[in-house]
Amino acid sequence: MLDKNNLLLFPATHQTAQTNTITAPCTEGMPTIFRVTSLNHHQEERCIRYKAHLFHDKASLTVEWTRSQPDTRIHPFCLVSPRWNMHPVSHHGAVQINRLVLIEHPEPEENLFRMVPHGWVKDRELVKQAIELVDNLPRAYRFLFNAVFWNGERFRRYCMGPSSVNAHHNYDNGNLIHSVELALWMRDSIKHADPSKHALAVLVGLLHDAGKADEYQLTASGGWKLTDRGKLLGHKVTIIEWLAAAHNRYRVHNLPQEHYMALLHCLTSHAHAPEWLGIRSPRMAEAILLSGLDQASGQMEIMRRCSTENPGWGRYHEKLRGGQPYQPEPLAVSQTNQHATP
């Protein structure tokens, strides 16, 4: 029998794809849920033949199956579970399966970042950090995150979109980079105060700008612009809508009410909002951290882009406080300090 450890990446080469029917990868140990990254079909004499590429960080493969009627429920970026044939074979690089089953409802045990394909995010260290953050969330928090992002197209936009048009992290994957960075900072900061209470801080960091997935869209020139929703409502309204819909639909499996209100408080409170707006001041450590660290992440990212290699003043940016970043000449480390014992 072929070694299944060498088959999880099947098909690996163009040469493999040109071979005739052979024994397919061993399905034992395969993930139960994959993301569809591409889907094609063509009409044959008596059936419709489908071919899809499936991705999970533990296995990536091409599958093929036939249907007598169009399979309209399966589409790119959705989550599916393969139904394997009893004795699966591979034909021209595609594993022959019985069918794909659409996974319609969020699974609390799944980590969606394990199904982020390389075409969405090339920085796999960033994806690894996101996987670790979600893996360590309580089950109820992870379920809520999955319920918000079970829609594959929405999750793709969250992972691939920018965090702004002309301010911080204004490039592909910028929103994910910013969100993961902020979640890590908030986790580490809250741990100093109370090591047992960091999960909410992580969830707040990951979700605080999630609504930007519907705030920006690509232009014909390849840049980004605000959508009508972005112009009229903004990402803070969008994420509250998504959370409310998820909480209402999956109430049995979702957060206790006090945790749900705590999350909404962290995402909506603001220390300097005028009283007549009806926005509450921060009453939780996570809310205070979000306000400060969110600004720090954005300002530091602009500073990194606008700073020069040499000491002195960097390039001007209208969104940077003070306009220009400055860095002094670094001090030389003395030989005595280099060899000093800690």
Whether residue 77 lies inside any domain: the answer is yes
Are 90 and 127 within one domain? no
Which whole number is the average pLDDT over 155-182? Answer: 94
Tell me which of 45, 74, 102 is where a domain ends: 102
Whether the per-residue pLDDT at 2 is higher than 50: the answer is no
Per the CB < 8 A criterion, the answer to whether 326 and 314 are in contact is yes
> Who has greater pLDDT, 309 or 151?
151
Quick one: DSSP state of residue 8? T
Are 24 and 150 within one domain? no
Cα 270 to Cα 280: distance, rounded to the nearest angstrom: 6
**Over the stretch 4-40, which tens digit does the pLDDT of each residue have?**
333 344 433 333 344 455 655 567 778 999 999 999 9
Are 129 and 191 within one domain? yes
DSSP line for 53-69: EEEETTEEEEEEEEESS
Would you state the pLDDT for residue 6?
34
Would you state the pLDDT for residue 7?
35
Whether residue 336 lies inside any domain: the answer is no
Would you state the pLDDT for residue 254?
67
Are 230 and 176 within one domain? yes
Whether residue 20 lies inside any domain: the answer is yes
- Structure token pair of residue 4: 């299944």
Are 181 and 219 within one domain? yes
Would you state the pLDDT for residue 194?
67
Would you state the pLDDT for residue 98?
93
Would you state the pLDDT for residue 21?
57
Are 94 and 124 within one domain? no
Which whole number is the average pLDDT over 151-161? Answer: 97
> Who has greater pLDDT, 196 or 43?
43
Least confident of 14-23, 171-180, 243-252, 330-339: 14-23
Q: Any idea what the CATH number is for the domain that residue 76 is in? A: 2.40.50
Least confident of 115-124, 146-155, 303-312: 303-312
Whether residue 47 lies inside any domain: the answer is yes
Mean pLDDT, the chain, integer: 87
- Name the residue among 179, 185, 169, 187 with its Cα closest to residue 207: 179
**How confident is residue 272, by pLDDT bands cut at 50, 70 and 90?**
confident
**How confident is residue 47, by pLDDT bands cut at 50, 70 and 90?**
very high
Would you state the pLDDT for residue 100?
95
Number of domains in the chain: 2
pTM: 0.86
* Domain containing residue 79: 4-102
Whether residue 322 lies inside any domain: the answer is no
Whether residue 174 lies inside any domain: the answer is yes
Are 141 and 249 within one domain? yes
Tell me which of 82, 102, 122 is where a domain ends: 102
Would you state the pLDDT for residue 1?
35
Are 96 and 55 within one domain? yes
Would you state the pLDDT for residue 23?
56
Would you state the pLDDT for residue 45?
86
Are 43 and 159 within one domain? no
Whether residue 155 lies inside any domain: the answer is yes
Per the CB < 8 A criterion, the answer to whether 19 and 89 are in contact is no
Are 287 and 245 within one domain? yes
Which whole number is the average pLDDT over 222-229? Answer: 92
Tell me which of 80, 102, 124 is where a domain ends: 102
For the chain, helix (H) and strand (E) counts, in that order, are: 11, 11
Would you state the pLDDT for residue 338?
60
Whether residue 25 lies inside any domain: the answer is yes
Least confident of 47-61, 125-139, 176-190, 305-319: 305-319
Which whole number is the average pLDDT over 95-119? Answer: 95
Are 17 and 127 within one domain? no
Whether the per-residue pLDDT at 324 is higher than 60: the answer is yes
Are 192 and 250 within one domain? yes
